[in-house]
Chain A
Amino acid sequence: MTGHLDTTMERLIALQDLLQLKRDLEDRSYEELGFETGDVSAIDAEIESLEQEIDPAVMRRYQAIRRKYDRPLVPVRRGVCYGCFVQFPTARLAEMVERDAPILCESCGRMLYQIP
């Protein structure tokens, strides 16, 4: 189901989106809106499958950051990390495009994802 995801960053983004989806479905105020949610644990299988497709070293780092923050992967926009809102060196932004591995925020340590 995740075969169309070609890069580590795409897989990390998909993984975090799924983790967020699960959190939202379990949120009490979401439940009160009356949407059908079925068996939320079905998402666990998707999450597990995706985790296995990600480089183990990257995955270990992701899980380590997750112990500290709910969202280990955050966007960087206009040179600002959207996790801690501290400016990120613009020279390093180019690296994000060139290499298929996440770059860490020098301030908070979260993984960064660039939004144009």
Chain B
Amino acid sequence: MKLVEFFAPDEVELELGAEGKEAALRELIGLLSVNEKADELFSLLKKRENLGSTGIGKGIAIPHCRSLVVDRLRVVYGRKPAGLDFEAVDGKAVHHLFLIVAPPVEISNQYLPVLGKIAQFCKNPKNLARLDEIESEAEFFEVLEQADV
């Protein structure tokens, strides 16, 4: 499957309101609509972040975990044009956030491959430059489609 196929229009937010790491995680989780399970998910993502930031540098963060609170692999994108402090490995502000949550048992075992696809997508500076410029969710899907990852 191509990366674009893992996203849904209501799981893209081009103007995150969050100013810090925890608030950003909560806002991204909000896009998943897991309701009362949001705290469990937040707690697990925090534990993962405590081991080492998933802010991988160059303005990108890819928080991720597996959890029983979802029944299929979910991917969310959030953009913060002004940047936010995600304690990234290079100490720079993060502008692009991809949240990945997968169930522990996946028949197609997509979790690590999707993590890899997002990392690959983000390695191309042209893709990030385009994400900086998009003004709608539809354009986000166009960028992913054209990236052909």
Interface residues of A (CB under 8 A from B): 1-2, 4, 10, 13-14, 16-18, 20-21, 24-25, 27, 29-30, 33-40, 42-43, 46, 71, 73-75, 77, 82-83, 113, 115
Give residues 80-122 of B contacting A (CB, 8 Å).
89, 103-105, 111-112, 115-116, 119
List 11 A-B residue pairs with CB atoms under 8 Å apart, sorted by A's residue number: A2-B43, A4-B39, A10-B40, A14-B43, A18-B44, A20-B104, A21-B47, A29-B112, A30-B112, A33-B116, A43-B47
Q: How many A-B residue pairs have CB under 8 A?
A: 80
Given contacts A18-B47, A20-B66, contact A33 B105 (CB under 8 A): no
Contact partners of A24 in chain B: CB under 8 A: 66, 111-112
Q: Is B144 an interface position by the 8 A CB rule? A: no
Q: Is B48 an interface position by the 8 A CB rule? A: yes
Tell whether, in the assembled complex, residue A17 and residue B67 are in contact, meaning their CB atoms are under 8 Å apart: yes
With the chains together, A74 CA to B48 CA distance in Å?
22
Interface size of B by CB at 8 A reads: 28
Q: Quick one: closest B residue to A70, CB to CB?
A: B104
Given contacts A4-B39, A36-B89, A40-B51, contact A21 B44 (CB under 8 A): yes
Q: Is B65 an interface position by the 8 A CB rule? A: yes
Contact partners of A20 in chain B: CB under 8 A: 66, 104
Interface residues of B (CB under 8 A from A): 39-40, 43-44, 47-48, 50-54, 56, 62, 65-69, 71, 89, 103-105, 111-112, 115-116, 119
Tell whether, in the assembled complex, residue B51 and residue A42 are in contact, meaning their CB atoms are under 8 Å apart: yes
Given contacts A21-B66, A38-B51, contact A82 B39 (CB under 8 A): no
Option from A4, A27, A75, A83 in Cβ contact (under 8 Å) with B71 = A75
Contact partners of B44 in chain A: CB under 8 A: 14, 17-18, 21
With the chains together, A72 CA to B146 CA distance in Å?
41
Contact partners of A1 in chain B: CB under 8 A: 43
With the chains together, A77 CA to B112 CA distance in Å?
24
Contact partners of B65 in chain A: CB under 8 A: 17, 21
With the chains together, A40 CA to B51 CA distance in Å?
7
* B1 CB to nearest A CB, Å: 18
Contact partners of B54 in chain A: CB under 8 A: 35-36
